Structure 1
Amino acid sequence: MGSREKHKGNQDNRIPNSKEKNKDKHQEGVEYAYPSSKEQFKAKHQEVIERAYRIPIFLSTTTHLNDNQSMFLNRLILEIENALLFPRTLPLSESYPESILTDIRRLVSSSYGMLAMNFRRFLVEVVETNEGPSPSTPPFWEGSVYSQVEPSMAFQFGLPILLVREDNTDANNGIWSGGIAPLNTFIVWDSENQTVDEFFNTIEWREAFANWSAEVRNAYYIQTEPKFKYRCDR
């Protein structure tokens, strides 16, 4: 009798195996999605590989968007990810316990390219100036103030940049005004007459994005090369 009770006690104190653990977790309501076939396993594995090989880039944009702008930004992120690039932006994907300028500098220095999207944010009408008569200009759109700061810091750092602007946004303001940025890095989205799909199917966008993506990969290759060459290149 004593030996049976001792044996029973050992069974109660034994360590459960993996099957019993999974069974207990399933009973608690925890579900696990295991690939049910080799094809699904390969697809999951390929998805992990693609994420691992994405090159980080700085996506400069704003979080205050209307429905049409949100559709455009989602499509833009999809284009970036399909090119095996990883978009990073403040404060959505990145956040540091420092000042905003320090956060921007840290993100710029750890990225290999900059894509800035300047959406319409404020409709401005000039009613008075600090000197002289008030200009008779029609109301115009301004974007986020960080659409001026972030691309400028990226350009100073030497990152490949691509500037996309919603039409009539900061047309005469800062780096988005004519003649400031290189022409081959500047594209305009006519949101009033052009759908999201129409813009991303234009030759202008596809050519500029392909060139910029190639520059990003070249920047990644240069920045990740060792300072000391371990072989002789002839």
Structure 2
Amino acid sequence: MPSKALSSTTLPAALLALPGVYHPQADTRLLAAALADEDLGSGTEVLEIGTGTGALALHAATRGARVTAVDVSWPAVATARLNAWLHRLPLSVLHGDFEARTTGRRFDVVFSNPPYVPAPDSRPPSRGPERAWDAGPDGRAVIDRICADAPGLLLPGGVLLMVHSGMCGAEETVDRLAGAGLAAQVTATASVPWGPVLRSRRSWLEQQGLVAEADEREELVVIRAQRS
């Protein structure tokens, strides 16, 4: 499996972030590298699900794409709008659930760095910074929704790019997308050190069988799916 370099050269150099908004990290950079391989020329209709600071949406906008970015967090929406203004880039940033805000629309490219960290709570949080990463006991609360909705969001020939942790089950994501009629595969991986969130819940992750006792690194995966 190819491994993408975690270079930040494809992301905007200067980004502001309001308190509680997810800063671009290794998963953001891995997805940016995958996005750089896609055709985002003038007129391409693009959707980002969960924009955070807007880093990836702005990257797409610099290449001429018409970008819609959606986030359930008001601080994230405000941050992305502010960064778009600072970089003088056209970006439509919408607040709310991606299903509700995209009704009746289809896109050439959809990409997402969704919440994917397994968490003890059965439901993802409704507020706070944890909203950007906690995603239920198997980490798939948002991933599975994107898999189910992807065919309806994509134009013919459209592409979905999604990054998440290997502990969430890359094969399950590929299988779900394939079951929805898309051609899907893992196109990039990267191994990164555990961050503070995973370290803080090591015992629980071990009890769930999601990690081994000696694990100190997390595998990230990018999954690409295309509609025929």
Normalization by structure 2: what TM-score? 0.37
Structure holding more strand per residue: 2
Query: Larger RCO: Structure 1 or Structure 2 (Cα < 8 Å, ≥ 6 residues apart)?
Result: 2
Question: Which structure carries more helix by proportion?
Answer: 1
Return the TM-score normalized by structure 1.
0.36
